[in-house]
Structure 1
Amino acid sequence: MTQADEQHATASQPSASWRQRLWEPCDSASVVFFRVAFASMALWHIGLVLTSGWIDYYFTNRPYHLSFFGFEWVQALGGTGMWRIHLLMGLAALGVGLGAFYRLSAILFFVTFTYTLLAEAALYQNHYYLMSLLAFLFILIPAHRSFSVDALVFPDKASPFLPNWCRWSLMFLIALPYFYGGIAKLNGDWLQAMPMGIWIPQKTHIPIIGPYLAQPWVAWALSYGGLVLDLTIVPLLLWRRTRLFAYLAVVIFHLMNSVLFKIDIFPWTMILLTTIFFAPDWPRKLLRRPSLKIPKAAITASHTPSLLQRATLGIVGIFVVWQLIFPLRHYVYPGNALWTEEGQNFAWRMMLHNKDVFIRFYATDGVTGKIVQIPVSKMLTQRQLLDIAKSPEQTAAVARFLAEGATKAGLQKVEIHAVSILSLNGRKPQLIFDPDLDLLTVERSWKHQSWITPLTEPLRAEPWDVPSKEWPQAVGIKLPKAMIPQQRAPTAR
Structure 2
Amino acid sequence: MNKFLFKQIDNIGLVLFRAVFGLLIATEAFGAIATGWVRRTLVDPPFTFNFIGFDFLQQLQGPTMYYYFVIMGIFGVFVMLGFKYRFSMIAYAIMWTCVYLMQKSSYNNHYYLMMLLCWIMAFLPANRWFSLDAKINPETKSASMPRWVILILILQVWIVYTYASVAKMYPDWLDASMAALLMSGKSDYWLIGNLLQQDWVHWAIAYIGIFFDLLIVPLMLWKRTRMLGFFISIFFHLFNSFIFHIGIFPYMSIAFALFFFSPEILQKRFLPKKKLYTGNEVIVPKHKTLIVGVFSVYFLFQLGLPLRHWFFKDDVLWTEEGHRLSWRMMLRSKSGSLTVWVKDKAKDEKQNYDYSELLGSKQQGSVATKPDIMWQLAQKIKAVEAEKGHDVSVYMEATVRVNDGEYHPFTNPNVDLAAEEWHPFKHSAWILPSPKDNNEK
Which bracket does the TM-score occupy, shorter chain normalised? over 0.9
Question: Does residue 32 of the first structure (1) align with residue 32 of the second (2)?
Answer: no
Cα 1:310–1:95 shift into 2, 3 Å: farther
**Match of 1:403?**
382
* Aligned twin of 1:48: 31
Structure 1 equivalent of residue 225 of structure 2:
242
The residue correspondences of 1:319-358 to structure 2 (distance < 5 A) are: 319-358=298-337
Amino acid in structure 2 at the alignment position of 1:397: Q
State how far apart, in whole Å, the 1-side matches of 2:336 and 2:267 are: 52
User: Equivalent residue for 2:161?
Assistant: 178
Q: Mapping of 1:123-272 within 5 angstroms? A: 123-272=106-255
Q: How big is the alpha-carbon RMSD for the aligned residues of Structure 1 and Structure 2?
A: 2.1
- Give the whole-Å Cα distance in 2 for the aligned partners of 1:282 and 1:315: 32
Q: Counterparts of 2:303 and 2:402 in 1: how far apart (Å)?
A: 28
The answer to whether the aligner puts 1:110 opposite 2:89 as a matched pair is: no
- CA gap of 1:217–1:293, structure 2 versus 1, over 3 A, is closer
What is the correspondence of 1:328-477 to structure 2 with a 5 Å cutoff?
A: 328-409=307-388, 411=390, 413-445=391-423, 446-457=425-436
Q: How many percent identity over aligned positions?
A: 30
Task: Give, in whole Å, the separation in 2 of the partners of 1:281 and 1:63.
Answer: 54
Q: Deviations over 1:329-350 (max 9, x none)?
A: 1121121111111111111100
SS across alignment from 2:382: helix
Q: CA deviation at 1:371?
A: 2.9
Give the match's secondary structure for 1:359.
strand
Q: Is the 8 A contact 1:179 1:234 kept in 2?
A: no
C-alpha offsets along residues 285-328 of structure 1, whole Å, 9 cap, x if unaligned? Answer: 324838856464x61xx343223x55234323322222122122
Give the 3-state SS of the residue equivalent to 2:145 in structure 1.
strand
**DSSP 3-state at the match of 1:328:** helix
Q: In 2, Cα distance between the equivalents of 1:68 and 1:164?
A: 35
Q: CA deviation at 1:391?
A: 1.1
Q: Quote the offset at 1:255 in angstroms.
A: 1.4
Taking structure 1 as reference, are residues 172 and 282 closer, same or farther at Cα in structure 2, changes over 3 Å only? Answer: farther
Task: Point out the structure with max Rg over C-alpha.
Answer: 1
Preserved contact between residue 389 and residue 395 of structure 1 (Cα < 8 Å)? yes
Task: Write the distance in 1 (CA, Å) between the matches of 2:271 and 2:41.
Answer: 48
Question: 8 Å contact 1:363–1:406 — kept in the other structure?
Answer: no
**What SS does structure 2 have at the residue aligned with 1:74?**
helix
Structure 1 residue 109 displacement after superposition: 0.9
Letter in 1 for 2:369: K
Tell me: CA distance 1:265–1:294, structure 2 relative to 1, closer, same or farther (3 Å).
closer
Distance change >3 Å, CA 79–CA 291, structure 1 → 2: closer
Q: Deviations over 1:170-205 (max 9, x none)?
A: 112222321110011112221122322222132111
- Give distance in 2, aligned partners of 1:122 and 1:70: 16
Q: List per-residue Cα deviations over 1:344-371 (Å, max 9, x = no partner).
A: 1111100011001111112122333333
In the superposition, the TM-score normalised over structure 1's length comes to 0.83
Q: Sort the Cα spacing of 1:294 and 1:277 in 2 relative to 1 into closer, same or farther, 3 A.
A: closer
Task: Note if contact 1:428-1:457 (Cα within 8 Å) is conserved in structure 2.
Answer: no
Q: State the Cα distance separating 1:419 from its structure 2 match.
A: 1.5
Is the 8 Å Cα contact of residues 96 and 115 (structure 2) preserved in structure 1?
yes
Equivalent residue, structure 1, for 2:285: 305
Deviates more, 1:273-282 or 1:189-198: 273-282
In 2: Cα distance, 1:248 partner to 1:343 partner = 34
- In the TM superposition, what is the alpha-carbon distance from 1:457 to its structure 2 partner? 4.7
Q: Deviations over 1:101-157 (max 9, x none)?
A: 111111111101111111112222111111111111112111111111111111112
Instruction: Kindly provide the amino acid, as one letter, of the partner of residue 376 in structure 2.
Output: A
Report if aligned partners of 2:21, 2:80 keep a CA contact under 8 Å in 1: yes
Structure 1 pair 435–425 and aligned structure 2 pair: CA distance change class (3 A): same
What per-residue deviation string (whole Å, max 9, x for no partner) do you get for residues 191-244 of structure 1?
122322222132111122211222223222211110111111121111111111
1:350 maps to amino acid: M
- Paired residue secondary structure (1:121): coil
Deviation track 1:247-292 (CA, whole Å, cap 9, x = no partner) reads: 1111111111122212122222212233322224432032483885
Higher alpha-carbon deviation: 211-220 or 246-255: 211-220
Q: Deviations over 1:446-476 (max 9, x none)?
A: 2121221121259xxxxxxxxxxxxxxxxxx
Residue 46 of structure 2 is aligned to residue 63 of structure 1: yes
Equivalent pairs counted in the alignment come to 436
**Does 2:63 match 1:83?**
no
Structure 2 CA distance for partners of 1:383 and 1:80, relative to 1, 3 Å: closer
CA contact (8 A) 1:39 1:97 kept: yes
Query: What amino acid is the match of 1:422?
Result: V
Q: C-alpha distance in 2, partners of 1:202/1:105?
A: 40
For the residue of structure 2 that corresponds to 1:447, the secondary structure is coil
> Distance in 2 between the 1:172 and 1:159 partners?
24
Report what 1:314 is aligned to. Answer: 293
Q: 1:370 to 1:276 in 2, by over 3 A?
A: same
> Is the contact made by 1:427 and 1:457 (CA closer than 8 Å) also made in structure 2?
no
Residues 420-464 of structure 1, C-alpha deviation per residue, up to 9 Å, x if partnerless? 110101221111111122111321112121221121259xxxxxx
- Inter-partner Cα distance in structure 1 for 2:71 and 2:296: 30
SS at match of 1:448: coil
Q: Summarize the alignment of residues 87-102 of structure 1 with structure 2, pairs less than 5 Å apart.
A: 87-102=70-85
